[in-house]
Amino acid sequence: MTALALRLYHLFGYAAEPVVRRVLARRAARGREDPARLSERLGRAGRPRPAGPLVWIHASSVGESLSVLPLIARLRRDRPGLTVLVTTGTVTSARLMAERLPEGALHQYAPVDLPPAVAGFLDHWRPALGLIVESELWPNLLLAARRRGIPLALINARLSGRSARRWRRLRPLAAHLLRQFSLILAQSPEDEARLRALGAPDPRSLGNLKAAAPPLAADAAEVARLRAAIAGRPCWLAASTHPGEEPVVGAAHAALAADRPKLLTLLAPRHPDRGPEIAAALRAAGHRVALRSAGEPLAPETGIYVADTIGELGLWYRLAEIAFMGGSLVPKGGQNPLEPAKLDCAVLYGPHTANFARIAEGLCAAGAAARVSDAASLAAAVAGLLDDPAARAQAIAAGRTFAAAQAGVLDEVVAALAPLLERVSGSSVAPVAREAAR
């Protein structure tokens, strides 16, 4: 049954190509794809392949691609003759990779999971090893890579309870796809157990690579400029918010500002393109709002500053000693709370932190973070931290210590990958013939 389902999926990929082309074109018109690089999504490379062994790392989007930057830097440091190719699927992640990849590492858009696109991608790049990040189980891509003899590892693997329940209905298919990996490294014991229950061969839990990421960068001159503009004002940050959370942040701001007329709330939405919509809704609710993408200044009368820009979270964490992490008051699983902890913020989040469950619980246990449930509890938690500098400093110090203790995961992941990497370093990958059209 599994073989038949995969065969039908494979054949459907040929028939679906014209439809996928139209979908990509529409997404490009809306800014969701890069029009100049759409051919990469269809398997046509945007640059020549460098000589020598090449390791391919596939990450879905911003969070996943940022999480592997320390691993890429380590690979390039330890094996300078190795080229690292990173593939992602979003415009935002491509921009960030262009800024942050080290020398010797390249970015391409990931091919859509159609047989011709996958074949074109693999035929051109001929990776000696593929590292798939978190949960990107694309059947055509995985099976085509293994048919070419490319060893695969699933790293920083994550499988939420909700995803596990969905996959259980297709357990034979999930088990078949997971067996394509020579190595599976899970983020947590819970992820390891879920993967094992689906048939993953010998998954191991080494920890979350996001713990090894360096503190988010920021422009020092902009930090100084905005710090001068904020000087003397109580300030807190709502970071990576999702739809449904901005009204809660607005209500918390109103409650806090009743006793703190100079209060500044920084609000950085998870998807910056929502900035104008968020600003309009907050203004309609009576708040004094400035929108960063529109060039509106952070003025003394600004109550809420909507920071709707890409790649500037490191700036906002440096300006606020209190950070609420979005995606946690709504069931999105939460965002990475180690990012603010590394940049000297006391951390708050809601009940939905499944994406970082162990880290969130660890931060709470260390006294570095606290949970909130609604606007009233969010306002109360922020007020307590604003009004008690000693408690705030204690939470910040605890977060810094906890974050530093997690960084050893990178060494463990590199050690686990060593046998595969040893084979890659001396490999000479020959071109392969394109698969038959059908």
Buried b (16+ CB within 10 A) or exposed e, 42-74: bbbbeeebeeebbbbbbbbbbbbbbbbbbbbbb
2: amino acid identity, one letter: T
Q: Please say whether the beta carbons of 201 and 178 come within 8 A.
A: yes
Spot the catalytic one: 64, 134, 190, 321. Answer: 64
Q: How far from each other are the two terminal CA atoms of the chain, in whole angstroms?
A: 20
Q: Give the integer Cα–Cα distance in Å for 130 and 55.
A: 6
Closest C-alpha to 333, from 167, 174, 187 = 187
Q: Please say whether the beta carbons of 6 and 176 come within 8 A.
A: yes
Which residues 6+ apart lie within 8 Å of 290 measured at CB?
296, 297, 298, 299, 302, 304, 305, 306
Q: Can you tell me which residue has the tokens 């090894």?
A: 212
CA distances in angstroms from 203 to 122, 138, 153, 165, 197, listed in the order given: 26, 19, 10, 18, 10
Exposure of 390 by Cβ count < 10 A (0-12 exposed, 13-18 middle, 19+ buried)? exposed
Closest C-alpha to 250, from 197, 175, 329 = 329
Q: Give the integer Cα–Cα distance in Å for 229 and 233.
A: 9
Q: Residue 322 CB: number of other CB atoms within 10 A? A: 24
**Sheet order of strands, 152-157 included:** 105-109, 83-88, 54-58, 129-133, 152-157, 183-186, 204-205
Q: Please say whether the beta carbons of 296 and 318 come within 8 A.
A: no
In the residue annotation, 192 being an active-site residue is answered as no
3-state SS, residue 313? helix
Catalytic sites, residue numbers: 64
